[in-house]
Structure 1
Amino acid sequence: MASTTISAATPSFQIISTLRFDPDLPRVTSHNANDESYPVPAHSPYYLLSYHRDRLINAARHFEWDSALDFLQQGLDSFESFLDGSIPNREKPWRLRIAVDYNGKGSVEVNPTVAMDPLNLLVPSLHSGTQSTIWKVYVDSQSITPSGFTTHKTTARDDYTAARVRAGITSPAETSEVLVVNPDGEIMEGSITTPYFRRHIVGKEINANEAVWVTPPLTSGGNAGTSRRYALSQGFCVEQVITKADMVDGEECWLSNGVRGFVRGVVVLSR
């Protein structure tokens, strides 16, 4: 993959963020999350709306795209109005892919998305939603070098596509995920999700005998995802380096992203 400096000088990519529009979300946040457990605007049908705008702003700032920053910093109301124009039917859930280019031009690709219990959009500690599907979670056989294209989400995703192919994941509809790994053997993230594992923490102000949910730190090279930020803000998890060697065949985990919310997974090391 080209370096951040070269590609940002003559950009052929866009910064992106993918989120869920769900008409049931305002009801869920109103009844199951108080003002401190869900980011504003709490009653929007756009999942983690402010976090998605923040993510795009941070990417534009990293790549020094001033025109994109001007577009994204107009305010949340303007950002939501921009998204509203793309919704075909406000009574159904949708998957939105927001893309912003170097010149500050934004576009939204809208597709139908899977029906699900909207409670699963909240962090697991806040609900007892139904989970009928367990995702299979594989570990990539090769490594990826961290860069601005792994820290920030862009259309330059060849490394992630290749990891999915190596894992035998051929369709975005599959309930399977592959964990990408940096050259030091540290888990960075999933190809389309943030992973969480149950681990014992040593040397911190946490009971060493009690396992807690952990997620890889950004220093391992992964993406600063929106659902990851939400999980950390609510104390669902803490950051800890997780290596490929730490993975246990058959262990249960959580996965999250801006469209599916939080889903259960199981690690598969042998096939």
Structure 2
Amino acid sequence: MNSNQPEDTTTEFSLISSLRYDPDLPSATSVYAKERYPEPHDSPYYLLRFHQDRLLKGATNFKWLKAAAFLQQPLEKFVETLDKFIPDRSKAWRLRIVVDVEGRCSVDVHPASAWPLRCMFLPTSFDQLESLNSSFPWRLIVDSVPTKPSDFTTYKSTSRAHYDSARRRAGIKSPSDPIEVLLVNPLGEVMEGSITTAYFRRRLHHPQEEIRSEWITPPISSGGMISVSRQYALDHGFCTEQIIRVDELVDRENLDPKFGSYRPKRVQGSVFKN
């Protein structure tokens, strides 16, 4: 594959992070996660500390001093900022936090879709996920053009032209399409999905032992984004980081976890919102 993508010359952009606000989250945490969930356990904001940390890493990388100062405040103060945007604290909402170079924070708020909260904790049962949607699992397509890793593939921001281009090449027309495209770097390594973090199951063969499998996800060094769900999965031992090359992938990977020769430009795997 030849990378023919232009350098991202974006000069005006903001850092973003999206999460769920749900008043039922604290009680669900106590039932389904207990100690296998990062503090604070009593927050209605899903993985809020990870979201704050991701935004801070982005502000630090881009040397946005005012934004970094805002994001370095105690979590409790950050919560006070977000609380001002919640229309009704008795309902669930999807939040899109936006922080600009001047440290100004705005939050786009939309009603959250109904979702069994048990599926937001690790380990997640894929049988449970499959029962929620007849289109599960999504069809995954490997992008036909490599994407050059950059700050804009590592830090989540409003500069998303590279993701939009990959989705157009894959023929994805709507966010509701049960299709995802895997971005690949010029070295032929899987980076991530266009709107998701991807996980693959690799089968391990050991002489005189039962065949077992493990979940793996591409390392940040391959060029993918700092993902909140990925950090949660890594911290709690759900998966490990391993370089995943395109030529290792096989069709229907989540049903047959054995890696082998790569033939069709389509794989099935497991993806979570990043």
In the superposition, the TM-score normalised over structure 2's length comes to 0.84
Aligned-residue offset at 1:189:
0.5
Question: C-alpha distance in 1, partners of 2:81/2:100?
Answer: 15
Q: 1:21 maps to which residue?
A: 21
* Farther-moved stretch of structure 1 (182-191 vs 22-31): 22-31
Q: What 5-or-longer segments of structure 1 have no aligned partner?
A: 259-271
Q: Distance in 2 between matches of 1:208 and 1:187?
A: 28
Cα distance change of structure 1 residues 118 and 153 upon mapping to structure 2, 3 Å threshold = same
- Partners of 1:155 and 1:200 in 2: how far apart? 37
SS where residue 91 of structure 1 aligns? Answer: coil
Which residue number in structure 1 is paired with residue 273 of structure 2?
Answer: 257
Whether 1:215 aligns to 2:214 is no
User: Does the C-alpha gap of structure 1 residues 125 and 117 become closer, same or farther in structure 2, counting only changes over 3 Å?
Assistant: closer
Partner of 2:193: 190
CA deviations over 1:210-240 (Å, ceiling 9, x no partner): 2200000111000110000000011010111
1:157 aligns with 2:160: yes
Q: Structure 1 vs Structure 2: percent identity of aligned residues?
A: 47
- SS of residue paired to 2:26: helix
- How far is 1:89 from its partner? 2.2
Q: Do the aligned partners of residues 142 and 130 (structure 1) sit closer, same or farther apart at CA in structure 2, a change above 3 Å counting?
A: closer
Looking at CA atoms only, which structure, 1 or 2, has the larger radius of gyration? 2
Q: Does the 8 A contact of 2:119 with 2:125 survive in 1?
A: no
Distance 1:30 1:150 in 2: 35
Does structure 1 conserve the Cα–Cα contact (< 8 Å) formed by 2:33 and 2:122? no
- The DSSP-based 3-state class of the residue aligned with 1:212 is strand
Match of 2:89 in 1: 90
Give the conservation status (yes or no) of the 8 Å contact 2:182–2:194: yes
**Cα–Cα, structure 1 residues 233 and 185, in superposed 2: closer, same or farther, change >3 Å?**
same
Output the CA distance in 1 between the equivalents of 2:56 and 2:45.
17
**CA contact 1:30–1:42 (8 Å) conserved in 2:** yes
Calculate the TM-score normalised by the size of structure 1: 0.85
Equivalent residue in structure 2 for 1:248, among 242, 247, 250: 250
What is aligned with 1:269? none
Q: For residue 231 of structure 2, what is the amino acid of its counterpart? A: R
Residues 246 and 114 (structure 1), Cα distance of their counterparts in 2 relative to 1, 3 Å cut: farther
Give the alignment partner of residue 225 of structure 1, picking from 199, 224, 227: 227
Q: Aligned equivalents of 1:208 and 1:220: distance in 2?
A: 31
User: In structure 1, how many angstroms separate the alpha carbons of the residues matched to 2:210 and 2:240?
Assistant: 14
How does 1:34-53 map onto structure 2 within 5 Å?
34-35=34-35, 37-53=36-52
Indicate conservation of the 8 Å contact 2:147/2:183, yes or no.
Answer: yes
User: Counterpart amino acid of 1:76?
Assistant: L
Give the aligned length. Answer: 249
User: 1:267: which partner in 2?
Assistant: none
